[in-house]
Amino acid sequence: MVAAGTLAEMSFPEHRARRLRRTPALRELVRETEVRPSDLIAPLFVKEGLEEPAPISSMPGHAQHTIESLRKEAAEIRQRGVLAFVLFGIPVRKDAEGSEAWNPDGIGQRAVAALRADFGDDAVVIADLCLDEYTDHGHCGVLNDRNEVDNDQTLERYRWIAAAQADAGAHVVAPSGMMDGQVAAIRGALDPAGHTDVAILAYAAKFASAFYGPFREAAEGAPRFGDRTGYQEDPANADEALREIHADIDEGADIVMVKPALPYLDIVRAAKDTARIPIAAYNVSGEYAMLKAAAQNGWLDERRAVLEVLTSIRRAGADMILTYHAKDAADWLR
Ligand code: PBG
């Protein structure tokens, strides 16, 4: 038998962590990681030719928007303190090249212009820059005669898209196609066009992930044949992800992103530890759908699970999080 006093004094002085967990005020005092609404970026979908917003079945709470419903939804989100939006356009007309993507009057550009008209500089309007929603084959670039995505032909189109998005008023363009050299190519198109102020958020470490499934319903961008393993990264490769991140920084990226978030928190941490620029993480559609489905079944407490997920992504080192939970989370965080 050991006397209680002896045990406390001698044996485990380093084990007294519970002292700082006793009260809400103490816990607040020692909390290391905060999530603020302004750390969140809300992804929104806008589809040409819709009369009414069309709910996305695999992403409860989200819809393909009309320009009008987009404006309304963005205003509600902005009102909750979320300052940034990333926009995905879905055109009526798709072709092999994805030419609606750089149409100055295309759906993506109209959506950007609408939000700039509503918010001016009181929100950050980010345009996703890719081709998969715009091509009839659903790949993120143009194809060569062997039906492979041609890197450099695709870069030409990305340059045209960047210029159109910047002309429409995007504060930030976000290339998500994982072509080699895309950041340099886009920077090289923006600057001579007078858009030196438009920033690039590079999807730098984007993995070939099963967790994009619901997004492909939302954005109607599933590849008609094959998959994206020829341009997106192998989930097994961490060193390669860091090479991609640093290559994008060298090419002039202003913000680098890791995507998806939860299965790749080690990459987020490594990026934060080695890159001295803002790090974004994309809490993708499948991560959202998984949590929503469990919550709808009563298997998880949605609010607690969402806030835990967002906290963990921030704790891993993300400065900002693209998340479909943005609107709800902002309500809970206020
Ligand atoms: C491609 C793109 C994708 C996502 C964002 N941009 C899909 C893909 O690469 O297949 C996925 C986002 C999500 O799942 O939430 N333009």
- For residue range 201-224, list pLDDT tens digits in order: 999 999 999 999 999 999 998 999
Pairing of strands 279-283, 63-65: unpaired
Report yes or no on 232 lying in a domain.
no
**Which residue range forms the structural domain that includes residue 319?**
34-223+237-333
Residue 8 pLDDT exceeds 60? no
Report yes or no on 169 lying in a domain.
yes
Please give the distance, rounded to the nearest whole angstrom, from the Cα atom of residue 40 to the centre of ligand 1. Answer: 17
Pocket test for ligand 1, best of 182, 201, 212 (most atoms within 8 A of CB): 212
Instruction: Quote the CA–CA distance of 166 and 198 in Å, as a whole number.
Output: 7
Over the stretch 139-195, which tens digit does the pLDDT of each residue have? 999 999 999 999 999 999 999 999 999 999 999 999 999 999 999 999 999 999 999
> Ligand 1: does its nearest atom lie under 6 Å from the Cβ of 119?
no
Helix or strand run (H / E) with residue 257: strand 255-259
Q: What is the mean pLDDT of the chain?
A: 95
Point out which residues pair with 118 in neighbouring strands. none
> Ligand 1: does its nearest atom lie under 6 Å from the Cβ of 176?
yes
Question: How would residue 14 be classed by pLDDT, with cut points 50, 70 and 90?
Answer: confident
End-to-end CA distance of the chain: 51
Residue 251 pLDDT exceeds 90? yes
Over the stretch 74-113, which tens digit does the pLDDT of each residue have? 999 999 999 999 999 999 999 999 999 999 999 999 999 9
Residue 10 pLDDT exceeds 70? no
Q: Which two tokens stand for residue 260?
A: 């998806």
> Ligand 1: does its nearest atom lie under 6 Å from the Cβ of 154?
no
Report yes or no on 23 lying in a domain.
no
Point out which residues pair with 110 in neighbouring strands. none
Among candidates 56, 198, 65, which has minimal Cα distance to 127? 198
Q: Give me the active site residues, please.
A: 206, 259
Give 66's DSSP letter. P
> Ligand 1: does its nearest atom lie under 6 Å from the Cβ of 284?
yes
Report yes or no on 139 lying in a domain.
yes
Structure confidence at residue 78 (pLDDT): 98
Q: Average pLDDT, stretch 288-311?
A: 98
Instruction: Quote the CA–CA distance of 320 and 135 in Å, as a whole number.
Output: 30
- The tally of domains found in the chain comes to 1
Pairing of strands 54-55, 63-65: antiparallel
Please give the distance, rounded to the nearest whole angstrom, from the Cα atom of residue 156 to the centre of ligand 1. Answer: 21
% of the chain with per-residue pLDDT over 90 = 93
Structure confidence at residue 166 (pLDDT): 98
| 326 three-state secondary structure | helix
Report yes or no on 25 lying in a domain.
no
> Ligand 1: does its nearest atom lie under 6 Å from the Cβ of 130?
yes
Structure confidence at residue 191 (pLDDT): 98
Instruction: Quote the CA–CA distance of 203 and 177 in Å, as a whole number.
Output: 8
- Which atom of ligand 1 approaches the CA of 214 most closely? 14
Pocket test for ligand 1, best of 64, 176, 209 (most atoms within 8 A of CB): 176
Structure confidence at residue 16 (pLDDT): 87
Report yes or no on 287 lying in a domain.
yes
Report yes or no on 19 lying in a domain.
no
Residue 4 pLDDT exceeds 90? no
Q: Are 71 and 78 in contact (CB under 8 A)?
A: no
Q: What is the CATH number of the domain that holds 102?
A: 3.20.20.70
Report yes or no on 52 lying in a domain.
yes
Task: Name the pTM for this structure.
Answer: 0.95
